[in-house]
Amino acid sequence: MIDNSCNFFHAGDIKLESGEVLPEAKLGYTTFGELNTAGDNAVLVLTHFGGTHENSQYLVGSEMALDPSRYFIVIVNLFGNGASSSPSHGMAQNFPTITMADNVFVQQQLLLKELGVKKLALVVGHSMGGVATYHWAALFPEWVERAAPICGAAKISDHNWVFLEGMRAILTMDPAWLGGMYEAQPIDGLRSIAKAWAAWPPSAGFYRQELYRTLGYSSLEDYLLNYWEKTYLSMDANNVLAQINTWQSANIGKNRIYGDDFIKALSSVSAKVYVMPSSTDAYFPPEDSRNEVSFMPAAELRAIKSEWGHWAGSGRCVADTTFINEQLLELLET
């Protein structure tokens, strides 16, 4: 059963990496299990693009690696996703670009000040959650014992950046967008971005084998309409763009700690890291992960052999989720 409850950490006005201020910032989060007296049995789970804490619970359970009887599990929403501070919260006109480093710095305050966490046994996340996982390991190496970025990267590649720029262009071409000052959602833009985005997360093999049928869709048309269009038409357009901004700007080396030294940031990761790319991921291919692993002192590449593309890490495919869970069980025993 999914826990839909959401708590909020009110961080006040926070100064961002850009120098801008996010007023009255709040982080939405949920927890499972209990923190031990040492404050070191915490597991941090980070959300993906378009997802919230409700979509990030598939690795949590009594028979899973993230067992609430052993660990204090905290699932934190990224800024811009509609649960944490987002443009849709009356901030459409002046919502700043929030980097992944900005997210992590506020998350650390949540764990320290509100929850009493002193150390993280594991940080894990899929997609943008995987990107955030890399940032945690680099920005707070003394906090993070283990990290497991799933289908993510420490820095967004030019290829990935160009994809996102295309999605931005599709959405904002809708005349109803009105420079972000719309009164009604730009439906045509959201519908168009859904159709364009649909080609990217699942692989060519996913479509060739019609794996969308395993998700309960009767045809390709049914899948495009009742998954992709339905998903994007439920989103706020400015929230979509805010998350694109965070994704595009992600780079563990580009912040006040490392300046712009990506290799130094990777080399500073002291955690035991299992990097889990999908063998068919168009966003974050294993070749990029292999390069990043080479610079981290205690990292291993544990690729997911899957036809599900980027969705290999999303909890949709039982075999892929089983593989990920096995890696997490092993990592937590190290």
Residue 159 is among the residues annotated as catalytic for this protein: no
Query: Strand (E) positions, 87-164?
Result: 120-126, 146-150
Verify whether residue 281 is a known catalytic residue.
yes
pLDDT score recorded for residue 1: 54
Confidence label for 224 from pLDDT (cuts 50, 70 and 90): very high
Cα 102 to Cα 99: distance, rounded to the nearest angstrom: 5
In 3-state terms, the chain is what percent helix, strand and coil (to 5)?
Answer: 40, 20, 40
Mean pLDDT, the chain, whole residue set:
97
Lowest mean pLDDT among 55-59, 138-142, 165-169: 55-59
pLDDT in tens, 72-122: 999 999 999 999 999 999 888 789 999 999 999 999 999 999 999 999 999
- 62 has a pLDDT exceeding 70: yes
Catalytic residue flag (residue 127): yes
CA distance 187 to 192: 8
pLDDT at 2: 78
Which of the four pLDDT bands, split at 50, 70 and 90, describes residue 13?
very high
Higher pLDDT, residue 216 or 3: 216
Considering the chain, what percentage of its residues have pLDDT values greater than 90?
A: 97
Report pLDDT digits (tens) over 203-214: 999 999 999 999
User: For residue 252, what pLDDT is reported?
Assistant: 98
Instruction: For the chain, give the percent of residues with pLDDT over 70.
Output: 100
Q: How many residues does the structure list for the chain? A: 334
In 3D, which of 35, 82, 37, 33 has the Cα closest to residue 55?
A: 82
Examine the pLDDT at 48 and tell me if it is beyond 90. yes
User: Nearest-5° angle of CA 81, CA 223, CA 286?
Assistant: 65
Helix (H/G/I), strand (E/B), else coil: 130: helix
Binning pLDDT at 50, 70 and 90, where does residue 67 land?
very high
For range 160-182, the mean pLDDT: 97
Q: Is the pLDDT of residue 34 over 80?
A: yes
Which pLDDT belongs to residue 249?
96
At 3, the pLDDT band (50, 70, 90 cuts) reads confident
- 48, 126, 135, 310: the catalytic one is 310
pTM for this one?
A: 0.97
Place of tokens 């890291």: 273
Do the beta carbons of residue 46 and residue 110 sit within 8 Å?
A: no
pLDDT at 91: 86
Q: What average pLDDT does range 205-230 have in this prediction?
A: 98
Residue 239, pLDDT > 60, answer yes
For residue 253, give the amino acid letter: G
The SS3 assignment for 258 reads coil
Dump pLDDT digits (tens) for 246-258.
Answer: 999 999 999 999 9
Please state, in angstroms and rounded to a whole number, the distance separating the CA atoms of residues 303 and 294: 15
| Gap between the Cα atoms of 66 and 150, Å rounded | 15
Q: In the block, which residue shows the tokens 């035991």?
A: 272
pLDDT (mean) for 176-192 = 96
> What pLDDT does residue 164 have?
98
Nearest-angstrom CA–CA distance, 24 and 85: 8
Cα 301–Cα 303–Cα 305 angle in degrees, nearest 5: 165
By C-alpha distance, which of 74, 20, 44 is closest to 249?
Answer: 20
Question: Of the listed 85, 127, 289, 314, which one is catalytic?
Answer: 127
Sketch out the chain's domains with CATH numbers: 7-156+251-332 (3.40.50.1820), 160-244 (1.10.1740)
**Catalytic pick from 102, 174, 236, 281?**
281
**pLDDT value, residue 301:** 98
* More confident: 334 or 2: 334
User: Exposure of 207 by Cβ count < 10 A (0-12 exposed, 13-18 middle, 19+ buried)?
Assistant: middle
